[in-house]
Structure 1
Amino acid sequence: MYEILESMKSRDLGPALKWATTNHEKLQQNGSDIELKLHRLQFMEILQHGSRDEALKYGRTYFAPFATKHFSEIQKLMACLLWAGKLDSSPYSEFLSPTHWAKLAHELAQELLNLLGESYESPLRVTIGAGLQGLPTLLKLMNVMAGKKAEWQCMKQLPVPVDLGTEYQFHSIFVCPVSREQASEDNPAMLMSCGHVLCKQSIAKLSKNNSTRPFKCPYCPTEVEVGQCRRLYF
């Protein structure tokens, strides 16, 4: 990754394109269009510093595999050929913005680390940042429950919510609309036949632990059978 990013600083896309080509299938599976973005930058570099014919040949060779999903963008890129030598005053001058290089380098680093199963952010920075946001609430809770220290330490979850904002939310969380409790391995989210979702314990209470007798969904008139409820995995 270091070699790729250093090469991009000197406007050399060779290592980045080689990596993207090698990982073409994985990037496609992840829904990433970074390979096309790299070819777009290379195309504009050739058009600016090379010849129009060379850029046309490059576009025909490397844009074709992306034509189905990105036809409109490729049309604009090929139209740039008509403005060779005067792209600054063309309707497509946006492709010349130097910010494209910095943004793409950032995105490429994210994609590369994603394929390696690593986080783009430092785990230590994320841990400290989340801790700093949650610490005031935890300190207040500690003072309030000073006399119940042993009880607090044995709890499976905190009695008050600790809002860390979207920046530190990495997993889907389901809270049962009936019990107001967060789903867990022992109390998973269950999809009912009507399409509404409750936690397993709430379904057990509503059905009075009767697996054969239907019960009414609390959110619609549908009669639901426990046996038709299916666990949801987030």
Structure 2
Amino acid sequence: MELNSIKDAYDRVVKKQKLSASKSQEVIHQVGREIEQALTQILSAQDSSAPVDQKSILAELKLKLSAIGPVQLLEGSHKELNLNLSKYTKLLERSLNPDISKAYRDVDFDYHIVNQLIANHFYRQGLFDVGDGMIEEAGEPELAIVKSQFSVMHQLLEAMKVKNIEPALNWIRANREQLNHDGLNLELKLHTLQFVEIIQYGNRGDALKYAQTQLTPFASPASPHKDEVLKLMVKLMGCLLYPRRLENSPYSEFTSPTHWEKAMEDLTGLFCSLLAQSYNSPLSMTMAVGFEGLPTLLKLANVMAAKKQEWQAMKQLPVPVELGKEFQFHSIFVCPVSRDQGSEENPPMLMPCLHVLCKQSIMKLSKSSTRIFKCPYCPAEASVSQCRQLHF
């Protein structure tokens, strides 16, 4: 209900803002027309060499503007807008808790790591001046070690934005051993994009020559993706029938700008992988997870405070914090019997019937290491010795 009331209040503010803007434009145009008419009268009288009574024209203009009352009209529409805007901000303050301090644990931070995350984020985004200023203020100049590396990455990406693939190709060739097949795949993708560019803006002969020299080696018998490359080559050869009009051909899919965007994403991923960095900024991922989990944590804090219980001392939260799949980086097992999360001390165990429980649950069911116990989810029986630890 709170979200619905907030949305309704927001919609009212937007409606009033549009009405106010429309009314303001109407008043401004009306005033402008009266001023233009007065200027026209003055100029036309001067051109006719007749005496010009400018005072009377300006006096008439003043009367017309007073009749319009632009200040009063604008004040009225703005007053309605400000009234609704004030109600909206008050509703936000009542409905949303601006104090998020009670939703986090009071733990010690490693400020060096925090500074490193922030500096890396700015360098990763290409905000080199901001990153330099941050590490200078933090007094940790050694954090600039990744600046030069990310600077190279952005030089490659900037070149690709103007359809220049040579810097990226040179980088792939220089790091071919570390990139393995991923580097070859990106190299093939870049050559394909270049071939399409020649078809669109060059001539058929140049495109065919480029395919023979740059694309054919990827279809050699030693290539691990020979069959896939051959299928691609067939389509590319079909593109030769539509020079300079590929976007209106059966092969128009090759002209989509998303291919360049995907190639730039692949290059970014490979570059970050070579630096032992994640594709996404750890800082931005941490912030996104915090935003998604914050409502649940705030609600939990309020409930626990009402019960006069301290949730920060808990080893495990009593409620799940639902996060999207993009925030799940490793498998987590929760025992269906005890609801405990698997750990090194309490690992998941696979029973002969292929059901999985945590070790402590199995020990409780068996009551001893030799006693046979029944699976809680099927009629099968097992002993502790028959159970095997699972590794995710």
Shift of residue 8, structure 1, vs aligned partner: 0.3
Whole-Å Cα distance in 1 between the matches of residues 228 and 381 of structure 2? 44
Long gaps (5+) in structure 2: 1-152
Structure (1 or 2) with the greater helix fraction: 2
For the 8 Å contact 1:27–1:33, the answer to whether it is kept is no
Whole-Å Cα distance in 2 between the matches of residues 31 and 6 of structure 1? 19
For the 8 Å contact 1:191–1:229, the answer to whether it is kept is yes
| CA offsets 1:179-203 (integer angstroms, 9 cap, x no match) | 2222122211122233222111111
Match of 1:159 in 2: 318
1:217 aligns with 2:366: no
Long gaps (5+) in structure 1: none
Shift of residue 215, structure 1, vs aligned partner: 2.8
> Which aligned pairs between 1:95-106 and structure 2 lie closer than 5 A?
95-106=254-265
1:6 aligns with 2:158: yes
> Which aligned pairs between 1:6-155 and structure 2 lie closer than 5 A?
6-24=158-176, 26-28=178-180, 33-48=185-200, 49=202, 51-57=206-212, 58-64=214-220, 65=223, 66-146=225-305, 147-149=308-310, 152-155=311-314
Give the 3 Å change call, closer, same or farther, for CA 103–217 of structure 1 in structure 2.
same
> Which aligned pairs between 1:181-196 and structure 2 lie closer than 5 A?
181-196=340-355
Whole-Å Cα distance in 1 between the matches of residues 198 and 328 of structure 2? 42
Whole-Å Cα distance in 1 between the matches of residues 184 and 336 of structure 2? 35
Whole-Å Cα distance in 2 between the matches of residues 216 and 120 of structure 1? 46
Whole-Å Cα distance in 1 between the matches of residues 158 and 330 of structure 2? 33
For the 8 Å contact 1:39–1:62, the answer to whether it is kept is no
Whole-Å Cα distance in 1 between the matches of residues 327 and 293 of structure 2? 11
State the SS of the aligned residue for 1:145.
Answer: helix
| CA offsets 1:123-180 (integer angstroms, 9 cap, x no match) | 222222222222222222223223222xx33321111111232232222211112222
State the SS of the aligned residue for 1:68.
Answer: helix
State the SS of the aligned residue for 2:216.
Answer: helix
Shift of residue 86, structure 1, vs aligned partner: 4.0
Deviates further, 131-140 or 19-28: 19-28
For the 8 Å contact 1:189–1:197, the answer to whether it is kept is yes
For the 8 Å contact 1:173–1:183, the answer to whether it is kept is yes
For the 8 Å contact 2:195–2:207, the answer to whether it is kept is no
Shift of residue 85, structure 1, vs aligned partner: 4.5
Whole-Å Cα distance in 2 between the matches of residues 137 and 17 of structure 1? 47
For the 8 Å contact 2:349–2:359, the answer to whether it is kept is yes
Deviates further, 60-69 or 127-136: 60-69
What is the root-mean-square deviation of aligned Cα atoms in Å?
2.7
- Normalized against structure 1, the TM-score is what? 0.83
For the 8 Å contact 1:56–1:81, the answer to whether it is kept is no
Whole-Å Cα distance in 1 between the matches of residues 183 and 353 of structure 2? 32
Opposite residue 223 of structure 1, the aligned amino acid is E
Shift of residue 54, structure 1, vs aligned partner: 0.9
State the SS of the aligned residue for 1:227.
Answer: helix
Count of matched residue positions in the alignment of Structure 1 and Structure 2: 231
Whole-Å Cα distance in 2 between the matches of residues 31 and 11 of structure 1? 19
Whole-Å Cα distance in 1 between the matches of residues 243 and 265 of structure 2? 29
> Which aligned pairs between 1:191-210 and structure 2 lie closer than 5 A?
191-210=350-369
Whole-Å Cα distance in 2 between the matches of residues 81 and 2 of structure 1? 33
Deviates further, 36-45 or 219-228: 219-228
For the 8 Å contact 2:219–2:227, the answer to whether it is kept is no
For the 8 Å contact 1:189–1:200, the answer to whether it is kept is yes
Match of 1:233 in 2: 391
Give the 3 Å change call, closer, same or farther, for CA 109–19 of structure 1 in structure 2.
same
Task: Please identify the structure whose Cα radius of gyration is greater.
Answer: 2
For the 8 Å contact 2:172–2:187, the answer to whether it is kept is yes
Whole-Å Cα distance in 2 between the matches of residues 206 and 31 of structure 1? 52
